[in-house]
Amino acid sequence: MKKFQKFGKYFLVFAIIFLFGWESASYYILKGSAESGIDQEEISPVAAFSSLIAPTDGTKADLKVFWDVWDLLEENYIDDHALDKQQMIYGAIHGMVAALEDPYTVYMNPDETVEFTQSLDGRLEGIGAELTVREQALVVVTPLKGSPAESAGLLPGDIVYKIDGNLTGEMTLFDAIMNIRGERGTKVVLTILRDGRDEPFDLGIIRDTINIESVYLEEPEEGIFWLSVYQFNDNTTPEFEEKMNEILLKEPKGVILDLRNNGGGYLEIAVDILSDFLEGEIEAVTIKRRDSGDDETLYVDGAPRLPHVPMVVLINDGSASASEIVAGAIQDYKRGIVLGQTSFGKGSVQEVDQLSDGSSIRLTIARWFTPNGTNIDDVGITPDIEVAMTDEDYEQDRDPQLDAAIEYLKNL
């Protein structure tokens, strides 16, 4: 019997840990199942793992050593009350997936699966930040706008060296998540390594409920509209359309689409946003799988509402996945200029399969390419105009990137 069902919804969400604690960014297909979990009294090599002994592709997998270790633990481990068979199975699956050494291919137990789903719905508790793993380091992609992490001064590119005094290098990603997350009102201390600083330093952050408003609109200069999109979640399309309606009621001279610190979200929403700016039913993104016969190209809808208004897209090293799809297409079609700093570089595609007990696995199945055929994985998108943000800019609440975008549009 098939052990999962397709939910059939694509999304790109970056290796996100919303520090309530989750991690995600890529393109996904969510799937689900309703079957029961493992009976702790009925686990046996034949019943539980026969499908692994004879894989469908004809290769052989010798599980004798696995069961040797299992038996040794059951017979000799000093604390027999700690031998929770279900948790041992979860741990074994975690290890099997981790052996691929792909930070975006992850097994999630039922609790982690629930949290992952909640993160995409915009329902979070924690410190409000997105993390990933790069070169075996826990790296901040971005703090969310208005979050405790942002208020505490956490910045994109920061390395989380310790959590409450414990070295993250000795933790799995999920260990780190469990240590960071906690109840609203409690405190977590992150020890940070930051480029430009010689010594690590501590940030104490009070956890809170994170309410994600994904779209903001301001008019910093008459006729120039600053449209900030912080995440592509369930609420983004209606919020974005509402802000677009506000712009259309006026006489826009220019639009700044701000994707800085946007760690990703649903793929369809990235295409929706592009559809408001690109003319014709043209390619938005191509997904290439292992079997080229399964490649897929997604197109904008051909009915843009702002096809000719001058445009600047702002990106930085916290812009990832779905936000890179938008910036990449705008740049490839020369619809506007891209300004800021090189983006994160998340160009792989994941699929999420929900398993019979409510757990799930997210595995890399493809890579995505911009309309010009570029894959930006581990490279990022290079802006047309590079403008940096310094620590001092952040501390003094200055925004030279936004200022540069406004000046560019004013001088057209």
| Helices (H), ranges, 249-399 | 267-275, 322-332, 391-395
- Of 321, 323, 348, 359, the active-site residue reads 321
Catalytic site residue 51? no
Q: How far apart are CA 107 and CA 359, in angstroms?
A: 8
Q: Report yes or no: 26 and 333 within 8 Å, Cβ to Cβ.
A: no
Instruction: Give DSSP secondary structure letters for 129-173.
Output: EEEEEETTEEEEEEEPTTSHHHHHT--TT-EEEEETTEEGGGS-H
Structure token pair of residue 46 = 């034949």
Compute the chain's Rg from CA coordinates: 23
Q: How far apart are CA 28 and CA 267, in angstroms?
A: 8
- Of 164, 332, 356, 384, the active-site residue reads 332
Q: H/E element holding 174?
A: helix 173-180
Q: What is the 3-state secondary structure (H, E, C) of 245-260?
A: HHHHCCCCCEEEEECC
Residues 6+ apart with CB under 8 A from 345: 320, 324, 376, 377, 378, 379, 380, 381
Catalytic site residue 323? no
What are the C-alpha distances in Å from 114 to residues 90, 158, 216, 322, 359? 15, 27, 28, 22, 9
- Of 33, 346, 359, 399, the active-site residue reads 346
Strand 224-229 with 254-258, pairing: parallel
Q: Is the dihedral of CA 351, 144, 190, 192 positive or negative?
A: positive
Beta strands in 328-395 (DSSP E): 337-340, 348-354, 360-369, 385-386
Catalytic site residue 80? no
Q: How far apart are CA 173 and CA 180, in angstroms?
A: 11
**Which residue, among 195, 328, 323, has the nearest Cα to 261 in the 3D structure?**
323
Tally Cβ neighbours within 10 Å of residue 62: 8
Q: How far apart are CA 323 and CA 262, in angstroms?
A: 6
* Cross-strand partners of 174: none
Just list the catalytic residues: 321, 332, 346
